[in-house]
Copies of this chain bind each other. A is one copy, B any other.
Amino acid sequence: MCVPNISEGTNLTVVEEIVDEIRKHKDVILQDYSSDLNHNRSVISYMGEPEAVLEATCHMAAKAYELIDMTKHKGSHPRVGAVDVVPFIPIRDVETFEAVEVARRFGKFVGERGIPVFYHEEAALTPERNKLAVIRKGQYEGMAEKLKDPAWKPDEGPAELNLRSGVTVAGVRGPAIAFNVNLNTTDVSVADHIAKAVRHITGGFRYVRGMGLLLEEKGMVQVSMNFDNPAKTPIPRVVETIRAEAARFGVSIAETELVGTIPLSAVEDIVKYYLQTHAFSSNQIIENALIDSL
């Protein structure tokens, strides 16, 4: 799966032309795309076999470099290039190392076009380049200067800003899951306490980001979370930690919400955890044969 972010979200004719490059590939399934006017940015989501996704991504990027001029780009979201960030996400039988190979082949393709490339997350060549926020620091406007620093020699392409196209970040990450737990109380300090207990930055689980919110119309509070690597920090473990923490305040879980999509592997983990069915495999799901027949 690939979820590139491109720096055009106002001229929808241009966005359609770029998305058309994905549509052209009959072996690639376009899942979704959306544009944000204020961010002046679009996110495209598609999937397929690794080779097909790589080819479609190269064609999509070539079209975006052709149509987007970063010297004229304005938008509220941090960005460094016309094709801003290209995360490849291994799903189903694809291993992380295979996705990294695809990301690096995409990076070489971009570098050869004279555009500097940084690899991030699982595709990063050095630990300092893991985090997108660190790479993006200074944004497009600061990149000419940043690239002069030997510490920021790009992983592919010239050590010099491509004025028209900027810089591209390519990498591999797990499929992030947005998952919220709603609690039977209106005391938002309970949600704050629990969010701090489970999120990585304040001592919690490594791959959880989160915050506490008041849901006024529901008369509940929410622990709103992102799971960045559900294989390593699975949802059920965090739900049970929240249940235990909430019980300390005499509060219970009212409901939970899954926002957007979840990979089948995470669903498999939920079933295994709660049913104690350690040998369960998503291959046992009848509909799986439909996918295997593709």
Q: Which residues of A contact B (CB under 8 A)?
A: 1, 29, 31, 47, 91-92, 175, 235-236, 239, 253-258, 260-264, 267, 270-271, 273-280, 284-287, 289-291, 293-294
Contact = CB atoms under 8 A, between A and B. Distances in A.
B276 A256 contact: yes
B285 A261 contact: yes
B91 A287 contact: yes
Q: Which of A273, A279, A289 has the most CB of B within 10 A?
A: A289
A257 B277 contact: yes
Nearest to A256: B277
A237 to B, nearest CB: 12
Contact of A236 (B1, B267, B274): B274
Interface of A is mostly: mixed
Contacts of A47: 286, 289-290
A271 B267 contact: yes
Given A236-B275, A261-B286, A29 B293 contact: yes
Contacts of A274: 236, 270, 273-274
A91 B1 CA distance: 26
23 contacts: A1-B286, A31-B286, A47-B290, A91-B287, A92-B287, A235-B275, A239-B275, A253-B276, A257-B279, A260-B284, A261-B284, A261-B286, A262-B286, A263-B285, A263-B286, A264-B285, A264-B287, A270-B271, A270-B275, A271-B271, A273-B274, A274-B274, A294-B294
Contacts of A31: 286, 289
A109 to B, nearest CB: 25
A1 B256 CA distance: 33
A287 B291 contact: yes
Given A256-B277, A274-B274, 9 more contacts: A47-B290, A91-B286, A261-B284, A262-B284, A263-B287, A267-B271, A267-B285, A270-B275, A290-B294
Most buried by B among A253, A260, A293: A293
A174 to B, nearest CB: 12
Contacts of A290: 29, 47, 291, 294
A277 B254 CA distance: 9
